């Protein structure tokens, strides 16, 4: 077993080294959240300056959420400064999914939410994946900032039911919406620490190999060894999306922690 662990560790190190060599960036094996932010900054180093400027706000937001002012200052020194006229701070977006779900729940209970989602009716003609995910997240014990959310969290098995409804709808929906529903199902399964459901939902998404899912799965398993490799594999001079997904994944781990502790 010890020999197997050594081989696995060496394989991970070689994978990161190869990915870094391919992109021109190098990242170590530090899997702490701060280490992963630094790794993302290394991956961003291969981008053209204009793309790094656009990536800077997301990079600094993630650094602040993980390591506070000290890490944000460190990362800021590695990212190009945006001209003053380009700096914008839109603040957090409203949670429209929860607003729609909450209105239905307060009017007719959780069954009204599920019925509207299945029928794609009323406020859930669009955005039913987001509404069910928002309700499921609160049923799983996260975001309990109002009485309706706390009532959902008090119902045993409700988060699982909502996860099953998302999967059920993903199987019957048209291709594009099916991907959105599967994405929501995968995220809820990651919050619920349900590896089997997560893996099922992930295969149904539009991009099952996307970096974000590697981070979500790491929350369930507690195994972060592959995250530096995932970040460096996403390093590209043409596309910032893999790095943005990595930053979202880091924030996901920072906000929700690991299932084993």
- Same domain? 258 vs 168: no
pTM (two decimals): 0.87
The region of weakest confidence among 60-64, 78-82, 148-152, 226-230 is 78-82
State percent of the chain over pLDDT 90: 79
- Same domain? 150 vs 136: yes
Report pLDDT digits (tens) over 105-163: 999 999 999 999 999 999 999 999 999 999 999 999 999 999 999 999 999 999 999 99
- Same domain? 179 vs 113: yes
Give the pLDDT score at 27: 83
- Same domain? 66 vs 101: no
- Same domain? 89 vs 114: no
Q: Which domain holds residue 174?
A: 96-208
How high is the mean pLDDT of the chain? 89
* Average pLDDT rounded to a whole number, residues 70-89: 80
Closest alpha carbon to 113 in 167, 171, 153, 152? 152
Contacts of 39 (CB under 8 A, 6+ apart): 27, 28, 30, 227, 228, 231, 232
Q: What's the domain count of the chain?
A: 2
- Same domain? 59 vs 161: no
Closest alpha carbon to 193 in 168, 216, 169, 170? 216
């Amino acid at each position: 077993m010890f020999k197997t662990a050594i081989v696995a560790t060496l394989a991970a190190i070689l994978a990161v080294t190869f990915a870094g060599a391919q992109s021109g960036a190098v990242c170590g094996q530090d899997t702490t959240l701060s280490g992963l932010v630094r790794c993302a900054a290394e991956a961003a180093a291969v981008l053209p300056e204009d793309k790094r400027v656009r990536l800077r706000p997301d990079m600094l937001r993630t650094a602040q959420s993980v390591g506070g002012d000290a890490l944000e200052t460190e990362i800021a020194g590695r990212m190009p400064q945006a001209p003053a006229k380009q700096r914008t701070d839109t603040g957090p977006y409203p949670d429209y999914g929860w607003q729609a779900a909450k209105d239905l729940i307060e009017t007719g209970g959780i069954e009204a939410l599920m019925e509207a989602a299945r029928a794609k009716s009323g406020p859930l003609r669009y955005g039913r994946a987001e509404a069910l995910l928002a309700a499921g997240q609160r049923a799983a014990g996260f975001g309990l900032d109002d009485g309706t959310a706390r009532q959902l969290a008090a119902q045993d098995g409700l988060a699982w039911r909502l996860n099953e409804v998302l999967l059920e709808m993903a199987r019957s929906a048209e291709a594009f919406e099916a991907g959105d529903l599967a994405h929501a199902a995968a995220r809820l399964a990651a919050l619920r620490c349900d590896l089997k459901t997560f893996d099922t939902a992930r295969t149904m998404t539009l991009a099952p190999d996307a970096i974000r899912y590697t981070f979500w799965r790491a929350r369930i398993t507690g195994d972060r060894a592959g995250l530096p490799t995932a970040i460096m594999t996403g390093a590209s001079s043409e596309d910032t999306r893999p790095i943005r997904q990595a930053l979202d994944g880091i924030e996901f781990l920072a906000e929700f922690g690991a299932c084993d502790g």
